[in-house]
Amino acid sequence: MVEEFEQAIVDQVKRFAREVLLPQAERIDREELFVTRHQAALGDLGAMGMNLPETWGGLGLSGSALYQAVEAIAAVCGSTASMLTAHFLATDSVLIGGNEDQRAEILPLAASGKYLGAFALTEPGAGSNPAEMSTRARREGDGYRITGQKCFISNAAAADFIVVYAKSNPDAGARGISAYLIRPSEHAGVEISSHEKTMGLRGGHVFTVSLDCFVPASCLLGDEGQGFRTAMKVLDNGRIEVAAQATGIAGAALEAAIDYAKTRFVGGHPIADLQGLQWMLADSATELAAARGLGLNAARLRERRERFSVEASMAKLYASEAAWRIADRALQIHGGYGYTRAFPLERYLRDLRIFRIYEGSSEIQRNIIARTILNDGYRRPTS
């Protein structure tokens, strides 16, 4: 349950999304404008630190309130939600894996919007299985030489800090992965490509990051060998936020379909009178409620500090796939107009497609869920 003060924050985020983000969303997509243009305003709003405790300058929102806030932003601009949640992956990495000095140095500035973070885990040859990464961190004097390449890294070109995951002990598999705080403006040898030309989320730019840089030992995030564990905890959080993004966009698509069905007349009657169309809307509303329920269930477990890895995977899997079906039905209801850029349905579908791939594909989520229930048994949801 969202507390009264949290609801006030969520309402403020909704108002900001409606008044500031919505009028720019279509142009951002069309012209591929980097949504970091909203960074300062999001910082002033407190949104850049919604995932962080007040101790480190954040708003200290519960998991449920955070879900609703991310959902509200995604409903009007998926690109902005993508930039923001990628920033959360970076700050969560520092919060979970860093020491007190690192948290004090990075998190207050990140929460205020003065710093933008990036989370660098994926590689050209190691996407769904980070344990296969080839980026190396070798001891060199009083620090580390980090070499390798990361791909599809959101925010990288504008990031003030990048959390880079690399193998400090290649013989130890996943247990040999460590995390490092890299500042592109300070550490020579960080090269960032031009942004990828993506199908959707065109304003949430992603980049290839090539590394051959030396960083002092103080840039090691936590201890050597703890990087994989940190990354998995961060991705548990991130999967709930992907579910929130998916339900936000799906909700916008459903609302558009309902409005269109009521105002589009054929044969003197609104198409909303057609039973076949009514069933499409009913299926969409039911799937959206189920997706949101799974996401909020995982969010509540997160805020209670209970285990939620499998619930996060369920939420991400179901929401990302249901959202696609909901938006596709919404476009179908709009007919030929839905296929044009006069309506946002085609953008919703393009934006949604990546959610079944990033932060662990649907296939990986199914593997996680199956492995968990086979090894630990099925846990009935609790209220």
pLDDT in tens, 215-231: 999 999 999 999 999 99
**Cβ neighbour number for residue 328 with a 10 Å cutoff:** 18
Measure the N-to-C terminal CA separation of the chain; round to a whole number of Å.
Answer: 11
Helix 275-303 to helix 309-334 angle, to the nearest 10 degrees?
160
Domains 4-116 and 118-225 equal at CATH topology level: no
The domain made up of 4-116 has a fold known as Butyryl-Coa Dehydrogenase, subunit A; domain 1 (1.10.540)
pLDDT of 286 above 60:
yes
pTM above 0.85, yes or no: yes
DSSP string of 252-278, one letter each residue = HHHHHHHHHHHH-EETTEEGGG-HHHH
pLDDT at 378: 78
pLDDT at 1: 57
The domain made up of 228-376 has a fold known as Butyryl-CoA Dehydrogenase, subunit A; domain 3 (1.20.140)
pLDDT band at 298 (very low <50, low <70, confident <90, very high): very high
Torsion of CA 346, 350, 353, 354, to 10 degrees: -160
Hey, what are 280's tokens?
Answer: 């499409």
Domain 118-225 belongs in CATH node 2.40.110.10: yes
Hey, what are 197's tokens?
Answer: 């030309």
pLDDT band at 381 (very low <50, low <70, confident <90, very high): low
The candidate with the shortest Cα–Cα distance to 301, out of 286, 313, 289, 317, is 313
pLDDT at 64: 97
In the chain, alpha helices (H): 4-16, 22-31, 39-45, 63-76, 78-97, 100-112, 227-263, 275-303, 309-334, 345-353, 362-376
Hey, what are 122's tokens?
Answer: 């994926």
pLDDT at 359: 92
pLDDT of 92 above 90:
yes
* 196 is annotated as an active-site residue: no
Catalytic residue selected from 6, 311, 321, 359: 359
Question: What residues does each domain of the chain span?
Answer: 4-116, 118-225, 228-376
pLDDT at 383: 54
For range 159-188, the mean pLDDT: 96
- The enclosing H or E element of 167 equals strand 161-167
pLDDT in tens, 241-273: 999 999 999 999 999 999 999 999 999 999 999
Percent of the chain with pLDDT over 70: 99
pLDDT band at 382 (very low <50, low <70, confident <90, very high): low
Torsion of CA 104, 109, 115, 119, to 10 degrees: 40
pLDDT in tens, 115-141: 999 999 999 987 777 888 999 999 999
For range 173-181, the mean pLDDT: 95
pLDDT at 3: 83
pLDDT at 129: 78
For range 32-43, the mean pLDDT: 98
